[in-house]
Structure 1
Amino acid sequence: MLLKYGDTAFDCGVVKGLSEVIRAEVSEPATGPEPLVSAALDACEEHLALFQRGERVVIVTSDITRYTGSEIYLPLLVERLKRAGIKESDIEIVIALGIHRKQTDAEHKKIAGALYGRIRITDHDCDDPGKLVYLGKTGNGVGVEINRRITEADRVILTGTIGFHYFAGFSGGRKAILPGVASRQACMASHFAVLNPGEGNGKNLRATTGNLEGNPVHQAMDEACALVSPDFIFNTVLSPDKRIVAAFAGDWREAFAAGCRYYAEHFTCRLAASADLVVVSCGGFPKDINFIQAHKSMEYGCQALREGGVLVLLAECRDGYGNATFFDWFRHRELPEFEAALRRHYEINGQTAYSTLYKAQRYRVILVSSLPPEEVQTMGMSPAASLDEALAKAATMLPRDYTAYVIPEGGTVLPVIS
């Protein structure tokens, strides 16, 4: 079996002590994605029956960094809207950029598919106060400012894809509103909820992968979405190779919850015990395009690892870190100092850097990447140029009869110790 790395791969047959290969338990439908999408949209008939001719409809969808299958489902969704009496000229697609960059015309075309050139497409701008409307505050004090196009529409439909998120629990659903079409300030404030109140109190343990109950980040996003009260949502679930394997549509809370249950059931792998060594691949390009993207595989892979164990992470990172300020955060070498700095000047990428250092100090991480070796060491990890080199380093850190897991698609599967 091969472990993908950028556009190449390493042979994982060299991993000694291998106990199990950890994979998601999901199969692709034989009929293709269109019947899945249509069946999910059938669940929205009672919502679509309320739409009236002449109403302005906004469809919120993800940007190019969050592939959702939008080029497949958006044309089918618009066809349903037209059957309900909505004209194409009254439909607008708003790209939920959050704090990401604007999209190119080519990227708009990839997102909209056959709708490109027929339906108006607008990029969200989190930094333009003239295009934002204040709606109120969440229970934990997050001021919610939302894209004006959303607030002025007669009908709002949220689309996206459901997957694990390392501190919001799951992506998808309510995230199309916050952070998707919210102000930069609201994005930062909602993500700041990952930290417990009071300096030195660290991360909230409920703000973690696959958990929504009592999760303060999820709660802020849920309450912000309630202020918009979208008419319905459409969310996909994708296989590791980005094919639609399930779709959920309907009430924005109920459909999202159903999608999360499905994802947790099919993408969680229950293990009898943690291992001494975990070898995890992000799944190759573009999943390992930069370190911020690769961090997801690092986070999930560590769940299968014993305290002080060794993680070998295969992540090419051809585009570096994924953010210009990410590496700068590692001037803070100790977690208490790092946390204090993060509280003084919170950044989402700083949170990812903090999480990286936390794992680098709790475990022993060997990173196979194209990043400068001295910078990898600054981040608290050990650099390696190949899987063989990484395993040779790991052998010096492991007991003689060590156990090992291999995870070929680290960004999609969550190991859980029973």
Structure 2
Amino acid sequence: MELYVNYEGKKLPFSIPEGWDLISSQDRPPVPGLPDPLAEIRRALDEPIGSPRLEEVARPGMEVVVIFDDLQRPTPVHIALPEVMDRLNRAGVPDERIIGICALGTHPIPSLRQLRDKVGEEAFSRLEGRLFPHDPHAPDNVIVGRTHRGTLVEVNRYVASADLVIGIGECMPHPIAGFGGGCKIAMPGVCSYRSIADHHFTWMRHRDSRVNLLDGNPFYEEIVDAARLARLSFKLDLIVNDRKEVVKAFAGDPVAEHKEASRYATSLYLVPLPGLADVTITSAFPLEVGVQATKALAMARFCTRSGGAIVWVAPQKETGSILPLIREMGTPESADEFHRRLVQGDIPEYLKAFGISYIMQVVYFKELAERFTVVHVTEGLAADQVEMMGFTYQRDLQGAIDLLSERFPEAKVAVFPSGGNIIPAVR
């Protein structure tokens, strides 16, 4: 049977053996983008969920901080931010009293040009001298409290001193937070390194820290607590398709609007499966850059039986900087042992330069290698580097299938052509 996965915007064909029973293979139908995304953003801001309109939340003379997501997400901040600023102006808050913060968490710091591209020329000009990337290591980050479970919450100093904090981001499936967007713009977005480490390492492997679950998910609930301590008051979340086009917008109370956005995202991304797969074939597309490329692999573990196999297809073109992480993945220390060290604050010195989400991948990759046979189809990593991860290297997708057919002459098989944005739901 001829099948395909999406790879850098192209279809990568392959066939499966006769003994393999396909339990899921459909690519999601393309979700059309809106012809006028600004009109949809305005509609959402005019009809906020669980909150007064932004013009009513803001007051004349307020110091307002607008935090927005970083380069690893396709949110069209350049469209949304000027509209948010216009509404603040109408409420009596001039541009001079608005500060823009790029919510990096512990992701790489963007260049000035990248920041300009993210917010657009108009907002960049209007925020001249008041536009900053968040620094999780800054000594002037401010402790604002602890969550009800005890997570330290330490935030950007501009956020801590603001009269009003507003967020702009994107809602998409997330393998441990349930969904991205919502309060994640505050935690990890504008929290300190030690605050993010405290939260992420503690809750990353809890059984209820998983995709498509908000209520009862401790990873998510701690994020909500942290955002309340950071006084995040209003959020605009966008749903964006694979072509980075706006599909729908939600705005209002950061928790209430995010729950509505998550329900809508579920309707787009849910993939029902009759049972666990023996073999799952997944592509990182459309999230093929940086740590985002691992989301497809993380989603595959929810629908593959222990002892089964996962074929993970990802270009991995930005790999030079992560070689220390790859070496750590190859150490004999188990996932449990390494995770325990992280929870205790014992981060290997040579890994401290990496973002928390990258260090988390060491735990997840060790766990994946312990539970599954993972075959990594990639052009960006050498065979010895992939094998250091505990995975099997293949440059060719069909070669990966042929290799697994020897071990699995009969298998239930799930194929996710665009595995970066899916919610696998096993009945």
Provide TM-score, normalisation by structure 2. 0.88
SS at structure 2 position matched to 1:309: strand
Match of 2:36 among 10, 15, 32: 32
**Structure 2 counterpart of 1:182:** 191
- Other-structure match for 1:271: 273
The superposition leaves residues 306-343 of structure 1 with CA deviations (integer Å, 9 ceiling, x where unpaired) of 33222111111111176454223221343343333333
Match of 2:341 in 1: 341
Question: Per-residue CA shift, 1:10-62, capped at 9, x if unaligned?
Answer: 21356764443244467325533222211101024534224233222110001
Whether the 8 Å CA contact 1:47–1:231 is kept in 2: the answer is no
Deviation readout 1:274-315 (Å, 9 max, x if unpaired): 33322111116xx3234x332110111233323322211111
Which residue of 107, 117, 126 maps to 1:118? 126
* 1:10 maps onto 2:9 in alignment: no
The within-5 A match list for 1:314-329 is 314-320=313-319, 323=322, 325-329=324-328
Matched, 1:351 2:351: no
Aligned to 2:401: 391
Q: Determine helix, strand or coil for the equivalent of 2:86.
A: helix
Structure 2 matches for 1:181-200, cutoff 5 A? 181-194=190-203
Report what 1:207 is aligned to. 209
1:95 aligns to what? 102
Matched residue SS, 1:86:
coil
Asked whether the 8 Å contact 1:280–1:409 carries over to 2, the reply is yes
Secondary structure of the structure 1 residue equivalent to 2:232: coil
Task: Indicate the residue corresponding to 1:65 in structure 2.
Answer: 72
1:310–1:397 contact (8 Å) kept in structure 2 = no
- Three-state SS of the structure 1 residue aligned to 2:315 is coil
1:144-173 Cα deviation digits (max 9, x unpaired): 111111122222111111112222222111
Q: How many Å separate the matches in 2 of 1:395 and 1:417?
A: 23
> 2 CA distance for matches of 1:154 and 1:336?
43
Distance 1:90 1:301 in 2: 46
Residue type at the aligned position of 1:311: I
Q: Secondary structure at the match of 1:175?
A: helix
Where does residue 254 of structure 2 map in the other structure?
Answer: 252
Match of 1:417 among 409, 413, 426: 426
**Is residue 23–residue 273 contact of structure 2 (8 Å, CA) maintained in 1?**
no
Counterpart in the other structure of 1:198: none
Matched AA of 2:163:
D
Give the SS at the match of 1:49. Answer: helix
Question: CA contact under 8 A between 2:7 and 2:285: conserved in structure 1?
Answer: yes
Of 374, 388, 392, which residue of structure 1 is paired with 2:384?
374
Aligned equivalents of 2:80 and 2:251: distance in 1? 11
Shift, 1:85, TM fit: 2.6
CA–CA distance in 2 between the matches of 1:261 and 1:7? 27
**Which secondary structure does the structure 2 equivalent of 1:193 belong to?**
helix
Change (3 A) 1:217 1:20: closer
Is the CA contact (8 Å cut-off) linking 1:165 and 1:208 kept in structure 2? yes
Distance in 1, matches of 2:385 and 2:35, equals 47
The residue identity in structure 2 corresponding to 1:106 is R
Number of equivalenced pairs: 406
1:164-194 Cα deviation digits (max 9, x unpaired) = 2222222111111111111111010010222
1: CA distance, partners of 2:261 / 2:12 = 33
Aligned to 2:353: none
Cα offset for 1:8?
5.7
Match of 1:128 in 2: 138
Whole-angstrom CA distance in 1 between matches of 2:59 and 2:68: 22
2-structure distance, mates of 1:53, 1:340: 49
Classify the secondary structure of the residue corresponding to 1:319: coil
CA contact (8 A) 2:187 2:196 kept: yes
TM-score by length of 1: 0.90
Deviates more, 1:262-271 or 1:19-28: 19-28
The 8 Å contact of residues 270 and 424 in structure 2, kept in 1 or not, is answered as yes
1:128-167 to 2 correspondences below 5 Å? 128-130=138-140, 132-167=141-176
Mark the CA change 1:342 to 1:244 in structure 2 (over 3 Å): closer, same or farther: same
| Native 8 Å contact 2:310 2:375 kept in 1 | yes
What are the ranges of 5 or more consecutive residues in structure 1 without an aligned counterpart? 196-202
Q: CA deviation at 1:9?
A: 4.7
2:327 touches 2:389 (CA, 8 Å); kept in 1?
no
- Percentage of pairs with the same residue: 26
Q: CA deviation at 1:416?
A: 1.0
**AA paired with 1:171?**
G
SS at match of 2:92: coil
Q: 1:338 to 1:127 in 2, by over 3 A?
A: closer
**Distance in 1 between residues matched to 2:189 and 2:57, nearest whole Å:** 26
Which residue is equivalent to 2:308? Answer: 309
Pair 21,221 (structure 1): closer, same or farther in 2 beyond 3 Å: same
